[in-house]
Structure 1
Amino acid sequence: MVGNIPRLLTILLLAVVMTGCGNSAGRFSSTPNLYSTGRNYPAQGVSEALRTVTPQMYFVTDRAQVKQGENSAGYGLARSNSMVFGAAKVQFGDTKDWEDLVQRTHSDSGQRFSSLVVQPAREVVRFPATPLPFERLNGRIHNLAGPEQEYQQQVRLFQAAISDEIKRTGNGRILIYVHGVKNQFDDSLTVLANLWHFTGRESLPIAFSWPAGNSGIFGYFKDVEAGEFSIFHLKEFLRMLADIPEVEDIDIVAHSRGTVVVTSALRELIIEQRGKGRKPKLALKTGTLILAAADLDVGVMQQRLMAEHFAEAFEQINVYINSNDSALHLSSALTSAPRFGASSAADFSLGELESLGRIGLVNFIQVEKAGSAYGHSYFRQNPAVMSDIALTLRTRAFPGGTLRPLELDEQNLWTLHPDYPLESLPDLSQFYDR
């Protein structure tokens, strides 16, 4: 028992530190500096259909529904075999109208939004529980015809709803956010609202919320297993999206353990498309992939992603890393393997970073002075990181140019300084009406 004490202490510390993965009551931790100049927030580029202080966010979840009497009280921690597509409105604090929201976004006074409030979610499509009943016929396994037809009917309803929303707003680009551990259902929607608003509302926002949020010493491990459970549903969701003619590109932002759920699902889809003789990027319509504070084993990433040329399926992949991420250091201690989001050049084999530099698709971005006690939730707390994400999604720019003034070191790692020179950025209005 004595020999297990250090490991138990590490588990306890991990449970405490990983609490930082959760969103803080849906608050804007800080308004990104990018918009403090009152010049680069693209308010005039937002279509009339989206100029509201209570915009509609969409979600796909395999969390079980929580009931209060006969009414839904949202979605909780338990798993559901039945995937749901729905919508919920997110109130931007105590803002009165669109003009007030724009003024606050442009404010140089450091004024911040009040808490974002998620209004009751509305189910649009509920898919039949998976796996569907199946049988073996002529040496192959098939879903039974009746259940398969019922499932495909719900697929068509989902695709029609997305198609109608694209036509209403004119936004054919999809923005998906996938959270990490210790996140509740509402957290995924408030963080998505934050990202979507500051990138100019030029996309259709959808949160993929998996059954995370377990508390206690072993809550982290429960969440990890829940993420594994959700990989199939995420694959189904991405397949359905890509098959919608009106969908142009799909951008994905993933945080912490959500990066494992995302990359696992995408890897399997890429293999599937290659097996069909298709180019994954064209078939899946994948755009930019952003991995922040990735709780992903470096060795697994190297063998399962880099070795299989995963990056060729994307416009670019931005990996934000912080070598002082305490949560990921504790995760590394438990697994005896370095984590991707806390990696450094020393964690890569000779020539690996050079190879990534040659293909020009994967950008490792070191975040200096990431902020917060544990340095794990910086992607939404650090103004420079949020601003760089917003610039990436809005302009499609790669790091190192005028639009994203990061510095490349001799080891092929980009550095995002805390004094990111946002005030000197050019007028971005040319990107407002893309």
Structure 2
Amino acid sequence: MQIKHALIASALVLTGCVPQSISLAPPPNLYSTGQNFPAEDVPPVLRTTTPRIFYLTDRLSEREGAGAEIYGSMRSEGMAFGTAQVQFGASNWDDLVTRTYVDRGGRISRLDVSGVAEDVQFNPVPLSTLRTDGALIFDPDEEDIYRQEGRAFQAAIRAEILRTGNKRVLLYAHGVGSGFDKSVTTLANLWHFAGRKSIPIVFSWPAGNGGVLGYFRDREAGDFSVFHAKEMLRLLADIPELEDIDIVAHSRGTDVMTKALREQVIFYRGAGKPPKLAMKTGTLILAAADLDTGVVRQRLQAERFSEAFEQINIYINPRDGALRLSSILTNEQRLGAATSESLPPGELARLRKSELVHVIRVENVRGGGHSYFRDNPAVLSDIVLALRTRAFPGGTLRPLELGEDGFWQLHPNYPLERLPDLRVEGSDR
């Protein structure tokens, strides 16, 4: 009975690991001079406080009101693609890029989803199959419709490339407990401070299941969504005008994305194509990864997974309470809470040198031990700089310090207690 109660308590903590607010602004000039928000580089058409964030989801749609789309935690066998309008907490563009986000009265600005419009509803999968001359094929009529839906998705992204001149995608996959709106506003925040020089797309899978068993239901929902994530990656890579796809994944979102990416790596390698060129993948960021460290070694490292990326940045926090509980429930070490003792000797150096994998230890976490990638200004700043500059850790653009244990350390010259606590309240429907 004691074990049962412990499991229930653990599940409750894990399902509640997503905070009700997200950070809006890393302090400008965190690492070195000249790293302020690059407002002059933002395309004129994107200089707005109400930008559009694209989404692809396999959450079930729940309609509310005229034309509004609200997605819950139920599964849909067919993907949906559309746009979500986000309202930043500023009255105009100049205020957004020049001022802080807490006014003189101490009130905190908001970052909200103000409208959602679904543009493409994909047919449910799996498609029907037929056996012809000993081969199993999809029903030609259903497959033709599915391809038309894929082309409509690609046409929308191509139109955005033409409208903005941005030829890079910034893709975000959230973790457990996250609602649809929260996933959109988190990506909006990352995309904004990375300079708005990409096309933002959130892959929002059916997380946010409540109750004692919510964490486990979310884990299963993540497995359900791997095929849809893979289809999204395939459709994006097949857009001729698109050059690169950067990916940020958090918590169990890292499992969804790495599974989909791994299958793509194996497919293209088997087809005789270099995975990175075929997939158009750029930087991969895994934050607070709820991944079995042993499984990562056997299913990712053993498949030379990192070959498909410019670099991989893994943010870890050995004191991450949610991942500690996940380790207890699974009886295995989680990657996002790795320590030097949990990795083979010399492995970090080899990964850094030959596979361009950088493991960054987060210290003195504030604003949530599991969601620090958006709540902690220092971590958010390093992610932003990695996306904005394409730089590896340790140089002038990302002046992290390499510790004796082989982990990179965040800005040792900028103590966290000196950083302002700038935060935006996000709404969840």
TM-score by length of 2: 0.92
SS of the residue corresponding to residue 380 of structure 2 reads helix
Aligned to 1:67: 63
Aligned counterparts, 1:19-418, within 5 A: 19-20=16-17, 22-24=18-20, 27-29=21-23, 31-35=25-29, 40-68=36-64, 72-93=68-89, 95-105=90-100, 114-372=109-367, 375-417=369-411
Tell me by how many angstroms 1:8 deviates: 3.2
Tell me by how many angstroms 1:35 deviates: 4.9
**Distance 1:409-1:69 versus aligned 2 partners, 3 A rule:** closer
1:304-337 CA-partner distances (Å, limit 9, x unpaired)? 0111110010000000000000000000001100
Tell me by how many angstroms 1:417 deviates: 4.3
**Distance 1:138-1:234 versus aligned 2 partners, 3 A rule:** same
2:183 aligned partner, one-letter code: S
2:306–2:355 CA contact under 8 A, matched in 1? no
- Say which is worse superposed, 178-187 or 404-413, in terms of deviation: 404-413
SS of the residue corresponding to residue 150 of structure 2 reads helix
Calculate percent identity across the aligned residue pairs.
Answer: 56
Where do 5+ consecutive residues of structure 1 fail to align?
423-434
1:11–1:334 CA contact under 8 A, matched in 2? no
1:394 aligned partner, one-letter code: R
Tell me by how many angstroms 1:182 deviates: 0.4
1:2-47 CA-partner distances (Å, limit 9, x unpaired)? 3xx2243133233224412x252xx443521235789611011111
Tell me by how many angstroms 1:142 deviates: 0.7
Where do 5+ consecutive residues of structure 2 fail to align?
417-429
In 2, Cα distance between equivalents of 1:285 and 1:15: 39
TM-score by length of 1: 0.91
- Say which is worse superposed, 300-309 or 347-356, in terms of deviation: 347-356
In 2, Cα distance between equivalents of 1:358 and 1:399: 12
Structure with greater contact order relative to length (CA < 8 Å, sep ≥ 6): 2
1:110-146 CA-partner distances (Å, limit 9, x unpaired)? 9886121102211111111111111222332210100
* 1:15 and 2:15 matched: no
In 2, Cα distance between equivalents of 1:110 and 1:202: 33
In 1, Cα distance between equivalents of 2:115 and 2:195: 25
1:269 aligned partner, one-letter code: Q
2:224 aligned partner, one-letter code: F
Tell me by how many angstroms 1:285 deviates: 0.1
2:14–2:215 CA contact under 8 A, matched in 1? no
1:7–1:334 CA contact under 8 A, matched in 2? no
**Distance 1:109-1:195 versus aligned 2 partners, 3 A rule:** farther
Tell me by how many angstroms 1:388 deviates: 0.3
1:31–1:112 CA contact under 8 A, matched in 2? no
2:52 aligned partner, one-letter code: Q
